[in-house]
Structure formats: structure tokens, C-alpha cells
Structure 1
Amino acid sequence: MNTLQLLVFILIDLYGLILVLRAWFQFSRVDFYNPISQSIVKITQPALGPLTTFIPTIKNINLAALVLAFLLFSIKFPLAHVVGNLFIANADVLDYAIVGALTLIRTIGKAIFYVLLIGAVMSWFNRGATPLQFVLAQLSEPLLRPIQRILPNTGMIDFSPMVLAIALFLVNSVFGDLFGVYWALASY
């Protein structure tokens, strides 16, 4: 892989992550006036503006952001082939679509894991309420609430982020077993 291909991969993965965050922010009803929310909206609005007229938001899920992320992830390997001759033998449109869908799923899992990890590390060192901590709490709360209902109350220690992280690792392993090479390409 050459430098130009690596740059294509990094840019597509980064913008895809931002699109996933945009959909997740809307789903979790993160404060729109938070500076982090405003930044994500400003970065994604030029690309999502035209799509939102055709692709609706359903049950507070911004489908336009997820569809655009899927399309970006689907063209990642063909675009890398164009800029640097990265060839995947016998690949067709369906293969690229499968890799795109799996990359979207993997990106959602990575985003959840990093939100949990950054929130845990920030809780150790920073006791003040920063805009980032507020966003992390709003993002993780809808995911952790069902787990917290099941787990017994242990006092000051909340084990629900650990349970969710273990579940993410298990899902990653199951997807690796089910999809094999496709799942490996999704992590590329």
C-alpha cells in the first residue's frame, strides 16, 4: 500500500466515523448547542444537506448519515485501486457492498468502544463538567441504561461500561467467525 492509498483510507475512515457520530448524536439527542455537536454538524452538513431531502430521519436515526457512510466505505477499496493499483482478486460490486456494510458496523462498534474508554479515562482525572464529558455521558447513557437495569446496584462502581465493552468484543469475534475475510477487510 502506498502513501496515497493510506491517505484515502484515513480520510474515508475519519469522515465515515464523523458521519456515524452525527447519526449517534441525533439518536442520543445530544445537546445541539454543545460546541462538539456544532462542529460535527458543520463538518457533515455540506454532504448531508442534499441527501436529507431524499433520505428521511426515522425514529431519530439520521439515515442519510448512515447511508453516506456506507457509500464511502463501499468505495474505499475501488478508490484505493484507482490511486495505487490495490487489487482484490475476483471482487465485484456485491463484495464491495458487503465490505462497506461490515465497515459501517465495525465503525459503530469502534465509536461505542472509544466513547466508553474516553469517558472512563476522563472520569479518573477530570472532575469538572466539560463539554466533552457532557457529550460522552449523553452518548453512552442510552446504551448503558438497559444494562444498569439488569445489573445489581454495587454502590459507587458502575460495571455497565465493562459489560458493554465485553459484549462488543464478543460481537467482534462472532462477526469475525461469520464473515471471515470480509470482516478482516472491514478493519483495513
Structure 2
Amino acid sequence: MSPVGEGGLFLIQFLAGLVIFVLILRFFMRATHVDWRHPIVNFVAKVTNPLCAPLNLALPKPGRWDWSALLTAMIVQALFVVLLGFLTDRSFSVGLIAISSVTEILNQMLDMMFWLIIIQVVLSWVSQGYNPNTAIFYQLAEPILRPFQKVIPPIGGLDLSPIVAIIAIKLTQIIVVGSIAQLGQSLL
């Protein structure tokens, strides 16, 4: 592939990744009940509303789980895989496209959970008291950490649940998502 083709492929991959990132962020924001008056949350909602609108007509009204955002992310990923096949002169089966989409979305969701925990931990060290700009990270990370905090109580005032949560997230990526991806590789 020529450098121009590689540059175009990079640009398409970047744009698809950005759209998918914002859609997954919308899914997490709705799932964790963040404050919708926050400017970042408001921005994400306004940017993703046109993308999710067609599926919102077909799917039940979103409650806590915004399935239209997740399904739209999968559709964008599937279109990217189809476009990638077209640009590289390869054809992919429908099964491979579906598995690729599912594994990529799961990986991005788990990566987002990982980074939300890391950001929340760092902010807990440097930001004392309530700050509306950092509160959104606590609101997003708290439901992820809550099950681990129930099992692992603070030891000497130190909360070790983020470490266990990160290990669980990474193991899920390696074992579960890796197994699904391996299934997809067998379809090549």
C-alpha cells in the first residue's frame, strides 16, 4: 500500500475509533447515571444523538442501558471492517465482521473501564474535595469499583479494590475477548 493509502487508512481508522469511543462513553454515562447537566456529558449527548436516533426509533426507550449507543458503535466498527477489506482488496465473511466488531467493542469498553479507574485513582491523590470537573470520573468509575469494594475492604485506610478491578479487567480481555478473537481468526 502506498504512503497516501496508509495515511488515508490511518485517518479512517482514527475517525471510526473516535466515533466508537464517544458512543461507548455515552453508554457508560447513561449506565452510571452521571450528571447530565455537566458540559462534557451534554456535549457527548449532543454529538451522539444524531448517530443513535435511527436505532432509538427501533429499540425500546433507553433507560439505564443505552443499547442504541452500543449497537451504533458495533455498526460503525462493522462498516470500518468492510471498508478496510475494500481498501486492502480482501473480502471478509459476515461472521468475521460480526466477531471482529464484537471483540473490538468489548476491548474498547474494557480499556475505557481500565483508564477510568486509573484516572479516578490519580485524581484521588491530587484532587481534594469536590470539583465538578473531576466528579464525572468518580461517577463513571464508582459503579465499576463498587463490587470489588464490597469484597475487599480498605486495609489501613488504603483502598486496594482498583488493583483487583484492573487485574479482573485485563484477565477478561485476555481470556474472554481473546477467545472470541481466536474464534474470529479461525474464520479467515
Distance 1:132 1:158 in 2: 23
Distance 2:148 2:48 in 1: 31
Contact (CA 8 Å) 1:56, 1:64: kept in 2 or not?
Answer: no
Distance 1:131 1:73 in 2: 33
Q: Are 2:80 and 1:76 equivalent residues in the alignment?
A: yes
Distance 1:152 1:125 in 2: 22
Q: Which moved more, 1:127-136 or 1:173-182?
A: 173-182
Distance 1:54 1:153 in 2: 45
TM-score, structure 1 length as denominator? 0.87
Distance 1:111 1:130 in 2: 21
Q: Are 2:15 and 1:11 equivalent residues in the alignment?
A: yes
Instruction: Give the AA of the match of 1:63.
Output: W
Q: Are 2:66 and 1:62 equivalent residues in the alignment?
A: yes
Q: Are 2:143 and 1:134 equivalent residues in the alignment?
A: no
Q: Which residue of 1 is the match for residue 51 of structure 2?
A: 47
Secondary structure in 1 matching 2:159:
coil
Structure 1 vs Structure 2 CA RMSD: 2.0
Q: Any residues of structure 2 matched to 1:100-115 within 5 Å, and which? A: 100-115=101-116
Q: Which moved more, 1:21-30 or 1:41-50?
A: 41-50
Structure 2 vs 1, CA of residues 8 and 39 (structure 1 numbering), >3 Å: closer, same or farther?
same
Q: How far is the alpha carbon of 1:50 from its aligned partner?
A: 2.9
Distance 1:114 1:77 in 2: 25
Q: Which moved more, 1:100-109 or 1:48-57?
A: 48-57
**CA-to-partner distance for each residue in 1:106-138, whole Å, 9 max, x for gaps?**
111011011111112222223253334211111
Q: Which residue of 1 is the match for residue 34 of structure 2?
A: 30
Distance 2:163 2:133 in 1: 20
Secondary structure in 1 matching 2:92:
coil
Aligned residue pair count: 180
- Identity rate, percent: 27
Give ranges in structure 2 of 5+ residues lacking alignment: none
Q: How far is the alpha carbon of 1:181 from its aligned partner?
A: 7.3
Q: Are 2:88 and 1:86 equivalent residues in the alignment?
A: yes
Structure 2 vs 1, CA of residues 86 and 18 (structure 1 numbering), >3 Å: closer, same or farther?
same
Extract structure 1 runs of 4+ deviating beyond 6 A: none
Q: Which residue of 2 is the match for residue 20 of structure 1?
A: 24
Distance 2:150 2:21 in 1: 29
Distance 1:177 1:70 in 2: 19
Q: Which has the higher contact order (CA 8 A, sep 6+)?
A: 1
